[in-house]
Structures are given as C-alpha cells and as structure tokens.
Amino acid sequence: MTETLFLSSDEIDGLATPEAYVEAVRDGYRQVGEGAPAHPRQKFRRSDPDGMFTSYAALLPETGAMGGYMYGAGFGAGDAWFVTPLFDAESGEPLALLDGASMNPFKTGAAGAVAVDELASEDATTLAVIGSGSQARGQLHTTATVREFEEVRVYSPTRENREAFAEEFDQLLEATVTPVDSSADAISGSDVVITATKSKEPVFDGDNLDSGTHVTAMGQYEEGSHEIDVRTVERSTYVPDLRERATFDAGAFLAALEEGAITEEHVHAELGEVVAGNAPGRTSDDEITVFDSGGTGIETVAAAHMLYERAREQDLGSTISFAPASEALTGTLPEEL
C-alpha cells in the first residue's frame, strides 16, 4: 500500500501566489519544448442528458511528476467536477489527488502569462481583457505579474459584470482598471489583448488590431467555436500551446484553414519551443502575435506538483491508500466462488 495526499479545493485555494503558478508553468513548458511528452485533450460527449468528459496528460521528467486532468461537465447535473491525479515520474506511484477546481483559472492563466512574457512587447503597458468570468480573472491575476501594466480595459456584454470586475481589480492592481462599452474600445491602442469568453463567434474584428499587439485567446477549444476571427489568425505569428492541437480542436485556426486564409505551416512554433529557446518569439515591434490556449496537461502537472510540494511543507491535506497492482491483481477470490 502507498499513502497518497488528497487536497481539497479549499486547501488549494490561496496556497500559491500567481507568481508561483507562472514560475511552475513556465518550467513545465520549457521541459516540453525540450522533448517531454504532452498531448492534446481527449473529449467524449453524450446526449440526453448532455455531457462531456475530458482528459489530458503530460510527463515532466525534471519536475519528477506526471499526470493530468479529468473532468466531467453536464450530464444532467448542470455542473462540473475537476480531478487531478499526480504520479511520481520515476516510480510511477501516486503522489496526490487534487480537487482541481480552484487551481483551474490560475494554472490556465499562468500559461497565458508565460506566452505574454515570451511574445508581447517588452514595454507593453496597456491590456485589454474581453470576458469577466473566472478564467478572465485568472488570466489577469497571472498576466499582471509579467508586465508592468498602467492601464487595463475590460469589456463584457453585461454592464454589471464588467463594472464589478473593473472595480475589484482596480483595487488589487497598481494599474488603472476601467470598464469599456465595446470590445473595439478595449482593443484600440492595447499592447496585449486577452479573450476569455464562451463565445462561439469572434469577439472583435482582427482588422482593428494595432500593429505590435499580442493576443492570448483561450476560449476556442473545439471546431466551429472561435472567439478570435480568421483575420486575426491570418495576420499573426501563431503559437498554440501544442502544435498538434492546432489542427485538432483549435477553432479559429481550423476556420482559417477552411477559408484558405492560411496553411498548416502557419503554425510558427508551440509555446514550449519558444520558452526553451528552440524557436524565436517576437522578432519585430510591429508583429502581431497570437497564443492559442486550449488547455493542456503541461500547466496542470506543473501547477499540481507545485501545490503538492507546498501542501507537504505546510502539512495540509489528508491521505488515502492505494494498493499496488502486484497486490491488488493477485488478491484472494471470495469464498463463494
């Protein structure tokens, strides 16, 4: 038997700073850029009741951990559950089982922040956020750690949501955070644009992007759904989290392919290759860059291991027991058989 740490969402909430998430995730992407294995998500759907089961995984040898994310959403309950198993990459033993809900916006936001650090202008001072939900919050918390933004503009179709978002972050950040009345107002003159929505249609016109803008788009991880338009992809130096995902479920990239605006060679590099120094990031001041973030096991394993280490230092969590296969597969049969 082996003792495995279980961490609840409440125990994970507040366990690490946004900076800590970014540091861990950056190192995870570096390892993948140097050859560590990671693959796009798998999605399984059913109807009546509607639901989706999703999983993805990665192995980070230098971190010493492997694992991923599994979550079920819908299925009549109208909710979602996030489960993160974490294993030792050397022995294969289970290290931890995490309720991944509270870490989700921060580990995903950290991937976006790493991309901003690699692809946005060094002197970026103005940030546009389109969306006001938990993912937009995670993106802003983490991205604010990699650039000294002076102005943040937030747009969400619901006035009350964007005003509440702006009021909260105006108190948290040194930057001035203001709500605006349209996505066009948000992106005009912005150095960095983050889209974190559930929109199936583009949320801004790519022709309105200023030269030199970086875009992080993280709400378009299925075919037919794309919150950035074909023109944005076409104009950009395009960097997905994983190269394989671009033609698998990256909605905007697939739409651009279908329209003939680009070819598959339009993928500049995947993020890990840029972080590892095996591909260049931004090469000119007027270049438009896009990071297409669909979610991977990379940020999940990197963040989960960082949280696991912190929890052990602070003596947090409870333990559960797992039997090794050598014991469990040779157990005795019930007497009645």
Using one digit for the tens of pLDDT, what is the confidence trace for 168-207? 999 999 999 999 999 999 999 999 999 999 888 999 999 9
Could you tell me if residue 110 is inside a domain?
no
Comparing 71 with 299, the larger pLDDT belongs to: 299
d(CA 42, CA 267): 21
Residues 149, 76 within the same domain: no
Could you tell me if residue 223 is inside a domain?
yes
Average pLDDT estimate for 221-248: 91
Beta-bridge mates of residue 195: 130, 217
> Given the DSSP bridges, would you call strands 151-155 and 176-179 parallel, antiparallel or unpaired?
parallel
pLDDT at 294 over 70: yes
Residues 82, 174 within the same domain: no
Question: Number of H helices and number of E strands within the chain?
Answer: 12, 14
Average pLDDT of the chain is: 94
Whole-number pLDDT of residue 335: 59
Whole-number pLDDT of residue 198: 86
Could you tell me if residue 336 is inside a domain?
no
What percent of the chain has pLDDT above 90?
83
Query: Can you read off the two tokens belonging to residue 29?
Result: 């992407």
Q: Of 146, 196, 144, which is closest to residue 175 (Cα–Cα)?
A: 144
pLDDT at 337 over 50: no
Could you tell me if residue 166 is inside a domain?
yes
> Exposed/middle/buried for 335, CB within 10 Å: 0-12, 13-18, 19+?
exposed
Using an 8 Å Cβ cutoff, are 194 and 169 in contact? no
pLDDT at 219 over 80: no
Could you tell me if residue 73 is inside a domain?
yes
Residues 219, 87 within the same domain: no
Whole-number pLDDT of residue 5: 98
Residues 253, 146 within the same domain: yes
- pLDDT tens for each residue of 158-170: 999 999 999 999 9
Residues 253, 303 within the same domain: no
d(CA 235, CA 214): 11
pLDDT at 90 over 60: yes
Residue 121: pLDDT band (50, 70, 90) is: very high
**What CATH number does the domain containing 45 carry?**
3.30.1780.10
Q: Which residue in this structure is represented by tokens 């179709």? A: 157
Average pLDDT estimate for 80-101: 95
Range(s) of the domain holding residue 301 = 2-104+297-328
Average pLDDT estimate for 229-257: 95
Average pLDDT estimate for 261-288: 97
Residue 336: pLDDT band (50, 70, 90) is: low
Residues 147, 255 within the same domain: yes
Residues 234, 182 within the same domain: yes
Average pLDDT estimate for 212-219: 94
pLDDT at 140 over 60: yes
Whole-number pLDDT of residue 299: 97
Residues 277, 302 within the same domain: no
Average pLDDT estimate for 106-133: 97
**What CATH number does the domain containing 257 carry?**
3.40.50.720
Work out how many domains the chain is built from and give that number: 2
- Assign residue 14 a region (left: φ > 0; alpha: ψ between -120 and 50; beta: otherwise): left
Residue 270: pLDDT band (50, 70, 90) is: very high
Q: Side-chain half-sphere of 68: how many Cα atoms within 13 Å?
A: 17
d(CA 33, CA 30): 5
User: Global pTM?
Assistant: 0.94
Using an 8 Å Cβ cutoff, are 150 and 176 in contact? yes
To which H or E segment does residue 119 belong?
A: helix 104-119
Could you tell me if residue 77 is inside a domain?
yes
Residues 6, 82 within the same domain: yes
Residues 288, 306 within the same domain: no
Residues 234, 272 within the same domain: yes
Whole-number pLDDT of residue 332: 58
pLDDT at 10 over 80: yes
d(CA 89, CA 113): 26
Could you tell me if residue 18 is inside a domain?
yes
Could you tell me if residue 211 is inside a domain?
yes
Residues 100, 121 within the same domain: no
d(CA 136, CA 179): 14
